[in-house]
Amino acid sequence: MSQPIFFAHANGFPSGTYGKLFAALAPEYRVAHLEQHAHDPRFPADDNWYNLVDELIHHLEQQEQPVWGVGHSFGGLLHLHAALRCPKLYRGVVMLDSPVLTRTDQWVIRAAKRFGFIDRLTPAGRTLGRREEFADLDSARSYFSGKTLFRGFDPECFDAYLQHGLHQVDDKLRLRFDPATEISIYRGVPHTSPGRTRQLQVPLAIVRGHKSRVVMRHHTRFVSRLPQGEALSMPGGHMFPLERPQDTARLLKNLFMRWEQRQNKDCA
C-alpha cells in the first residue's frame, strides 16, 4: 500500500509544475498537495505566514493518516512550522533547498522588515515589475527560457510550468500565481517560530542544492546537529527538484525507507 506524501511548492510555482517528481515517487508513495498556497481567501498571505501555516494544517487534518511532509523552498519552511505546531500530523519532514532559519537569521529578517530593506534580502525586489502577460505560448516560452532561474530545468518540468503557471485571460496568457501574493509571501518571511526546532518531535532533513544561494552552510550544520536531523545535498541549484526530478524522487524514497526502518526498530 502506498504511503502518503503532502507536498508544498516553492513560491510562485504551482504544484502541477512538479508532476514529473510526483510520478517518479509512485507507486510506493502517493502525493497530495494544494495547487497553489496562499490563494484561498480564508488564508491570505500575512506577516510571519501564520495564515499560510494554518492553511497547510487545515488540509493535513483532512488526510487519513500522518504524512511525509515534503516542501520546496517556501513550502519546506511551511512544513517545518506546521510540524512544530502539530507533530502528530507528520511522520517526518524534508525541506528541499529550504533554509531552517536560525535566531540570527530571524533577527536579520526582523531588522530588514523594520528598516525597509526586506525586498533586497528576499526575491521580492526582483519580482516587482516582472512581466505578467504574454500574447501566446511561444512568447511565454521564449521569455522564461531566457531566464537564468529556468535554464537548468528538466524539459518536461519546464513544459509543466508553462502549462500550470499560466492561464488564459481573454485573449492573453497571464501568470496563474498572483504576483502580488508572491511578493507578499516574500515580504512576510517569518522572523518568528512556533517552537524551537531543536525540540521537533519528528525526523527532519534539509536537502541543499550544491550551487544554492538560499541554503547556506550554517543552515545545514544546524540541522545536522539536531537529534533527528540530517543534512543532504543534490547536484544543481535552488531549483534542483525541477532540474533533476527523478534523482530527487530517488533520494526521497531512500530517505523515507531509512526513516521507516529506524521507526520500526524503535517500536520493536
pLDDT tens, residue by residue, 144-176: 999 999 999 999 999 999 999 999 999 999 999
Reduced to 3 DSSP states, what percent helix, strand and coil does the chain have, rounded to the nearest 5? 50, 15, 35
Q: Is a pLDDT exceeding 90 seen at residue 268?
A: no
For residue 69, give the amino acid letter: G
Secondary structure element (H or E) that encloses residue 3, with its range: strand 3-8
Average pLDDT over all residues of the chain: 96
Distances (CA, A) of 3 to 6, 18, 60, 165, 221: 10, 18, 14, 28, 29
Distances (CA, A) of 109 to 78, 181, 191, 197, 232: 16, 19, 6, 18, 25
Domain ranges of the chain: 3-267
Give tens-digit pLDDT for 190-213. Answer: 999 999 999 999 999 999 999 999
Under 8 Å between Cβ of 106 and 190? yes
pLDDT digits (tens, 9 = 90+) for 203-245: 999 999 999 999 999 999 999 999 999 999 999 999 999 999 9
d(CA 196, CA 209): 25
pLDDT tens-digit map of 249-264? 999 999 999 999 988 8
How much is the pLDDT for 223? 97
Average pLDDT over residues 72-76: 98
pLDDT of residue 44: 97
- Which of the two residues, 264 and 49, has the higher pLDDT score? 49
Q: How many CB atoms lie within 10 A of CB 2?
A: 11
**Residue 189 clears pLDDT 80, i.e. is over it:** yes
C-alpha distances in Å from residue 205, one per residue of 70, 99, 157, 218, 229: 10, 11, 24, 14, 6
Report which residue type is found at 57: I
Q: What cell does 213 get?
A: 544561494
Q: For position 183, what pLDDT does the model report?
A: 96
pTM above 0.95, yes or no: yes
CA distances (Å), origin 181, targets 11, 21, 58, 220: 9, 25, 20, 29
Q: Please give the angle made by the CA atoms of 67, 72 and 73, to the nearest 5 degrees.
A: 130
| Position 96 pLDDT exceeds 80 | yes
Percentage with pLDDT > 90 across the chain: 94
What mean pLDDT comes out for the span 60-74? 98
Sheet order of strands, 90-96 included: 29-33, 3-8, 67-72, 90-96, 204-209, 229-234
How far, in Å, CA of 159 to CA of 101, rounded?
32
| pLDDT recorded at residue 265 | 76
For the 3-267 domain, the top CATH level (class) is alpha beta
For the segment 106-131, the average pLDDT, to the nearest whole number, is 92
